Amino acid sequence: MNGDLTSVLNLLDSYLGSAQYFPFLLLGTGIFFTLYLKFPQLRFFRHALRIVRGKYDKDDAKGDATHFQALATAISGTVGTGNIGGVALAIYLGGPAALFWMWMTAFFGMTTKFVEVTLSHKYRMVDDEGHIIGGPMYVMERRLNMKWLAVFFAIATVISSFGTGSLPQSNNIASGVASTFGVPEWITGGVLAIILGLVIVGGIKRIVRVAESIVPLMSIIYVIGALAVILVNLPQVGASFIAVFQDAFTGSAAAGGFLGASFAYAFNRGVNRGLFSNEAGQGSAPIAHAAAKADEPVSEGMVSILEPFIDTIIICTLTGLVILSSGVWTEKIQNDFQSFDMEFVSGVYTESSDEDRAALYAHLNFGDSNIEPLTDKLEVIGGKVLPGNFTLIHNRSIAEEVQYFDGDDSPYSGSLQIVDGKLQDPVTVRGKSLIHSVDLTSEAFTRGAFGDYGRYIVAIGLVLFAFTTAVAWSYYGDRAMTYLFGTASVLPYRVLYVIGFFVAAISDTSLIWLVSAITIALMTIPNLIAILLLRSEMRDTIEEYWDKFEREHPEGR
């Protein structure tokens, strides 16, 4: 059943987030608007900082949140597992080159976010409870007269609130806390689900208060921890930067247990993880910014320029340098194997053979090698499998020192059925392989000045980052539900959201990431189409803003 679900999700992903067109659509939109609007992410950056500080605030402006609160809420929605687990996943999949494409996604994404937030703020409304509501769905319906697209986007937002906000955040928190403190996943998921419910039931006013309190604190803690690793590994930082740029257009070569990644794979994974990290183009942040107390849509759009910069250019870069400079991304670490990441293949392969490496590289990156999935019955005695003509691939690396355990965690003895490369029996598999996501970042943080205590920094940062992301996304989801079904639908949605948060804590990590990639693309594609259709209006809106600003502020920008 799990294999059938995986196949269906992989098929959907191949047409959406992992499709060849998707990164070009995302990056291309950012590049187009950057050139069309003459690099607003550079020209308006200083002005954006002044707006956030409240220099141009008006007491009578409509909205439910200040500029800073809206920014903090949007950042809390983006600064989450993407910054801790997402960067690690991108490097694990695409090597150092993936970090370069995360940077590109962020730089051009600063313009994309500026555009989407401005347009959504321009067409915001007031709901039947007196709260400001907005987002791409209102732009699609009120300006483009495309109700069908607005409904599709709103449905995608509800789905993505689980795929982006609830499921991966909960899963990574539970995984990180379990590996660091030994707390069972179901306990972490249960406790945080209760707290989540108490926060989101208070609506936007409670959400923004939580966000503005936690976001600065969590950022400072994480930056200190990251610098403690980077400074210890300073001699390798230069080489890491060189690898990022050197591999950007060629793909990343094999290193240690890392079997290499093609350019296309690194490019796609980097852009995808960049989007998951900063959400520029996804259409989520405009929902938060719509609540800001501002009469000028462009001014709120400028505030949003800061988000990809903080989220990806600063925080994701720190995470990436921690992982690359410490070298853990190429090391095989003892871990419990997840069935989603395991594949038994026919034949014995070793990393010492160039021919074997080439075959595995082709198999992992293109799926067109002569390597065949194994279908066989393996015999295990005292936890160790008898030698045979097969190789176990786990986390895109050749697994070593593999042992099998039964339900009560004692060494397993008996037969194991393998069908099409997948293990059919409910046993626990442990051994050494590459690791990814939060586990990789957590391991990297132990290679610095704080030693093993670095894990606690990641665990604390993860809880704060991911929890606030889940809180923010609950707001995005309930705004979409309000659009679709009215305010009465919000409470049932919140209950289901909290339940999903708990269930994800005990689910397969890689499966959760796959669901996330699909749901992100479902929002992003219609949102990008909408803002491209309004390119001329966006340019005119900016010109109108500056004309009015210069009349009201003759002292200048």
DSSP string, 229-278: HHHHTHHHHHHHHHHHHHSTTT-BPPBTTB--B-HHHHHHHHHHHHHHHH
**Is residue 187 one of the residues assigned to a domain?**
yes
From residue 307, give the alpha-carbon distance in Å to each of 336, 494, 511, 516: 36, 26, 28, 20
**534 C-beta neighbours (distance < 10 Å), count:** 21
Domain boundary among 433, 468, 491: 433
Phi/psi for 35 (5° steps) reads -75, -40
Examine the domain organization and report whether 113 and 228 are in the same domain: yes
Does residue 523 form part of some domain? Answer: yes
DSSP 8-state secondary structure symbol assigned to residue 310: I
pLDDT tens-digit map of 305-348: 988 888 888 888 999 999 999 999 999 999 999 888 899 999 99
Q: Which two tokens stand for residue 332?
A: 């095989």
Same domain, 421 and 350: yes
99 and 230 in a single domain? The answer is yes
Q: Identify whether residues 291 and 210 lie together within a single domain.
A: yes
Judgement on whether residues 286 and 427 belong to the same structural domain of the protein: no
Q: Which of residues 364, 399, 433 is at a domain's end?
A: 433
Q: What is the mean pLDDT of residues 76-103?
A: 82
Instruction: Return the pLDDT at 175.
Output: 78
Name the band, by pLDDT with cuts 50, 70 and 90, for residue 525: very high
If one counts the domains in the chain, the total is 2
Same domain, 345 and 493: no
> Over 70: is that where the pLDDT of 77 sits?
no
Cα angle for residues 270, 372, 21 (degrees, 5° grid): 30
| 554 belongs to a structural domain | no
Q: Is there a single domain that holds both residue 344 and residue 320? A: no
**Residue at 366 is within a domain:** yes
HEC-encoded secondary structure of 4-41? HHHHHHHHHHHHCCCCCHHHHHHHHHHHHHHHHCCCHH
400 and 458 in a single domain? The answer is no
Token readout for 350 is 């070793």
Question: Is the pLDDT at 1 greater than 50, yes or no?
Answer: no
Q: Is there a single domain that holds both residue 322 and residue 341? A: no
Q: Are residues 272 and 366 in the same domain?
A: no
User: Which three-class secondary structure state does DSSP give residue 349?
Assistant: coil
**CATH number (domain holding residue 461):** 1.10.4160
* Cβ neighbours for 331, distance < 8 A, ≥ 6 positions apart: 256, 257, 434
Range of the domain at 18: 2-331+444-549
Q: Which conformational region is residue 327 in: left (phi greater than 0), alpha (psi within -120 to 50 degrees), or beta?
A: left
Residues 6+ apart with CB under 8 A from 402: 337, 384, 385, 392, 429, 430, 431
Highest mean pLDDT among 60-74, 142-156, 164-178: 142-156
Domain co-membership, 20 together with 81: yes
- Whether residue 474 has pLDDT greater than 80: yes
For residue 25, being part of any structural domain is answered with: yes
Percent of residues in the chain assigned helix, strand, coil, to nearest 5 = 65, 10, 25
pLDDT digits over 410-445, tens only? 999 999 999 999 999 999 999 999 998 888 999 999
- Check whether residue 183 and residue 268 sit in a common domain: yes
Q: Tell me the torsion sign for CA atoms 469, 296, 47, 64.
A: negative
Percentage of residues in the chain having pLDDT higher than 70: 90
